[in-house]
Chain A
Amino acid sequence: MSAHAHAVPAPVGGNLLNAVTLVCGVLIAIMAAILLTRFIFGLGSVTNINDGYSWGIWVVVDVMIGSALACGGFSVALLVYIFNKGQYHPLVRPALLASLFGYTLAGTGIFVDLGRWWNFWHIFWPSYSNPNSVMFEVAVCVTAYIVVMWIEFSPVFLEKLGMKDVRQKLNKLLFFFIALGVLLPMMHQSSLGTMLVVMGSQVNPLWQTPLQPVIYLLTAIVIGYGVVLFESCVAAASYRRSIEVQLLDPLAKIMLGVLALYLVVRLVDLTVRGAWGGAFEFSGIAVSFWIENLAFLAPFILIGSTQARRNPANLFLAGIAIMVGGVLLRLNGFLIGYGHHTGTGWSYFPSIYEIMVTTGFFAIEVLGYIIITRRFPVLPREDARATI
């Protein structure tokens, strides 16, 4: 058992203006300029999306992958509040913060891609909404989840602002929002996978399966833990704080367990559907498939043993491997493995402007994370000095 007491969360403090935040600022400014062009002249003026690939990286990366990477909050909440692993409590706020940003940006990222964005409220309006549509369910659940997360995170702001009464009232209801905060991601993360089903044979058989909801949900959970590993190491390194290897070790074991379950499901699914053929062709798709699955297998090698798990470098790399695998699974399903049926000679590669906007979104996340952790009580208090 750890002899280290759970420290109270506190702002990290320090200067907000430094190299990292400046770079983020510049990237965000570039993004703003590009978006201005997009809204004045249309999507075609800045993106390479076309009639064959109507969803580009703004949808697949900013929205789908961005939200998957934001699953840290969900995965940790699952651990802490459902499976009652209270020792992970210190991880809740930072994970929640990352989730909050990730999801809020995924939600706003959608606006940038919607062609007729001024009608967006139609998705929520009963007379227009189509409950049969997977996208409808995803939109409603993501929106609800963003609201729930802001509510879940509000104690942080209330603490800083010293509004104790409101805080106490909120605390009484917090369990319900936490329950929602576990249910809603299960619903929409799995449905992000179900979105592929209606595309039928346009999605390569390596990634097209009726088991999409199970596959996407399991990987979302796993990615959540991977992101926690990654962010813990990065935050600790950046702020010159200690890494809670004590906590991360068992979390990593749980991650491996869920990962193993996912890989079994994936293997069985591919075998039952007889879809292995494409994996052994000489093609970019096959290469992408193997990289994705090797990334998912890597953690077993990196942190399979207790000894290995004690080394934070391995935990960090395992986290990255998981993230890469999860990103690739989604990228493969929606972009790389999409479109291979007769009659299409279309190809797509993101334009420099699309890349800069995506980078800008992630820069907002990084900048926001830095600002909030420095000025609001999120990370556990420590006496070390921070460097970013």
Chain B
Amino acid sequence: MASRRHFLKGALAGGAALAGATLAPEACARDTHTRPAEGLGLLYDATLCIGCKACVAACKEANGNPPEFSTEDQLWDTPLDTSGYTFNIIKMYRNGTMQTKDAEVNGFSFMKTSCMHCADPSCVSACPVSAMVKDPITGIVSYDPAICVGCRYCVVACPFGIPKYQYDSPTGKIGKCELCRHRYADGHYSACAEVCPTGATLYGKTADLLAEAKRRIALAPGSRTSYPRGKIGGPDQSYEAPVGNYLQHVYGEHEYGGTQVLKLSAVNFQKVGMPDLPAKSSAATSETIQHSLYGGLVLPVVALGALSFIAKRNVKPDDDAAASDHKEEQS
């Protein structure tokens, strides 16, 4: 009898906790973050890119990274993907005879791979020690190895597979593009944009870059237009060239709330390695769950109170003695 009562009490307490949990989400829903107004970033235009890899070499030099070899005679820096020592890489899409540049069929195209500096970064949400943080003004997602514990949650969380760890070192750290923020003091900007000969990688405020991207995709393919190089708002290095056959989509405008690095392409984005992402970020979903369950530690404290109450009633002081065993035999 007594046990049934106790059981029901426990069930009620548990039920109350669950009900509270389900009601809480509305109050604790965490919206997907948006880009900061003054956020900095890059615009990568695959139709302008000629695959010269000046940006790869410049990034290596700007960050003091060693070369990575993937060929037998180790003569050139030939990374196959970004890594703990390669923060930027140009990959090539190939199809069929590879005859025509930027053709999806029987053609080839290039795609730059580097940190997207998301508006709502999964890595920042995942990092348990705040080694990955997003600057509130510039929006740059930066990494601090002095804080990092090397758990690599950021590596598995990032939908673009950008943060990468240095497995070959006992003191390895994470490596990724930080938009060359360490060069700003000397008046430089992102090395990849500085060196790009065709303006395929353009640096500037994401708001300006987004406007430029939209301007380009609105033009008629084959017509001529002026393309800036280096930095929007910097010294004029623009030149005239024919307009490419852009897809009517600026990648990074809305994906996961938006990214500060935008991309234009003539080839379908998924075929060139850019994942199809919804507007709601996974960080928002994850944090909504956490805030609902643990926000303010309200639910845990309530649950602890209920459980303590029940446990106290069920646990007698000399719990392990035979006496209590006899009592509980009745249940």
Stretch at the interface among A50-58, A272-280, A295-303, A307-315: A50-58
With A83-B6, A89-B325, A117-B150 as contacts: A200 and B320 at CB distance below 8 Å: no
Q: Are A54 and B155 in contact (CB under 8 A)?
A: yes
With A116-B145, A197-B282 as contacts: A183 and B161 at CB distance below 8 Å: no
Q: Are B317 and A171 in contact (CB under 8 A)?
A: yes
Give the residues in chain B near A190, CB-CB below 8 Å.
Answer: 293
Q: List 13 A-B contacts (CB under 8 A).
A: A43-B167, A51-B81, A54-B165, A81-B311, A86-B329, A134-B126, A135-B128, A168-B317, A174-B319, A179-B311, A187-B294, A198-B125, A200-B277
Q: Are A135 and B151 in contact (CB under 8 A)?
A: yes
Rounded to whole angstroms, the CA-CA distance of A120 and B283 in the bound complex is 23
B242 within 8 A of A: no
Chain B, 272-315, CB within 8 A of any chain A CB: 273-277, 282-283, 285-287, 289-290, 293-294, 300, 303-304, 307-308, 310-312, 314-315
B159 within 8 A of A: yes
Rounded to whole angstroms, the CA-CA distance of A54 and B34 in the bound complex is 28
Q: Are A87 and B331 in contact (CB under 8 A)?
A: yes
Q: Are A197 and B289 in contact (CB under 8 A)?
A: yes
Rounded to whole angstroms, the CA-CA distance of A86 and B149 in the bound complex is 43
Q: Which 8 A-B pairs have the closest CB atoms?
A: A115-B150, A86-B328, A44-B167, A200-B282, A116-B150, A343-B273, A179-B307, A54-B155
Give the residues in chain B near A197, CB-CB below 8 Å.
Answer: 282, 285-286, 289
* Residue interface bits A169-187, CB-to-B below 8 A is 1, else 0: 0011011101110110011
Q: Are A81 and B150 in contact (CB under 8 A)?
A: no
Rounded to whole angstroms, the CA-CA distance of A45 and B170 in the bound complex is 9
Give the residues in chain A near B324, CB-CB below 8 Å.
Answer: 86
Stretch at the interface among A66-74, A123-131, A282-290, A318-326: A123-131
A86 in complex: contacting residue of B150, B311, B325, CB < 8 Å: B325
A136 within 8 A of B: yes
Q: Are A51 and B164 in contact (CB under 8 A)?
A: yes
Give the residues in chain B near A9, CB-CB below 8 Å.
Answer: 320
CB distance from B121 to the nearest CB of A (A): 10
Stretch at the interface among A34-42, A241-249, A355-363: A34-42
Rounded to whole angstroms, the CA-CA distance of A134 and B10 in the bound complex is 28
Q: Are A175 and B130 in contact (CB under 8 A)?
A: no
The count of chain B contact residues (Cβ–Cβ below 8 Å) is 76
CB distance from B66 to the nearest CB of A (A): 15
Q: Are B156 and A338 in contact (CB under 8 A)?
A: yes
B7 within 8 A of A: yes
Q: Please report whether the interface of chain A is mostly helix, strand, loop or mixed according to DSSP.
A: helix
A22 within 8 A of B: no
Give the residues in chain B near A201, CB-CB below 8 Å.
Answer: 159, 275-277
B127 within 8 A of A: yes
CB distance from A92 to the nearest CB of B (A): 9
B270 in complex: contacting residue of A1, A183, A342, CB < 8 Å: A342
Rounded to whole angstroms, the CA-CA distance of A116 and B148 in the bound complex is 7
Show the binding face of A for B, using Cβ within 8 Å: 1, 5-6, 8-9, 39-45, 47, 49-52, 54-55, 80-87, 89, 113-117, 119-120, 122-123, 125, 128-130, 132-137, 139, 155, 159, 168, 171-172, 174-176, 178-180, 182-183, 186-187, 190-191, 194-195, 197-202, 210, 212-213, 338, 341-344
CB distance from A87 to the nearest CB of B (A): 7
B308 in complex: contacting residue of A80, A89, A175, CB < 8 Å: A175
Most interface-central of A44, A132, A212 (chain B CB within 10 A):
A132
A178 in complex: contacting residue of B122, B289, B294, B311, CB < 8 Å: B311
Chain B, 101-152, CB within 8 A of any chain A CB: 122, 125-130, 145-152
B215 within 8 A of A: no
A122 in complex: contacting residue of B147, B155, B271, B273, CB < 8 Å: B147
Give the residues in chain B near A81, CB-CB below 8 Å.
Answer: 310-311, 314-315
Q: Are B314 and A6 in contact (CB under 8 A)?
A: no
Q: Are B282 and A119 in contact (CB under 8 A)?
A: no
With A183-B303, A201-B159 as contacts: A132 and B310 at CB distance below 8 Å: no
Give the residues in chain A near B130, CB-CB below 8 Å.
Answer: 128-130
Rounded to whole angstroms, the CA-CA distance of A179 and B102 in the bound complex is 63
Q: Are A135 and B126 in contact (CB under 8 A)?
A: yes
Q: Are B275 and A116 in contact (CB under 8 A)?
A: no
Rounded to whole angstroms, the CA-CA distance of A243 and B115 in the bound complex is 58
Q: Are A42 and B122 in contact (CB under 8 A)?
A: no
Q: Are B287 and A132 in contact (CB under 8 A)?
A: yes
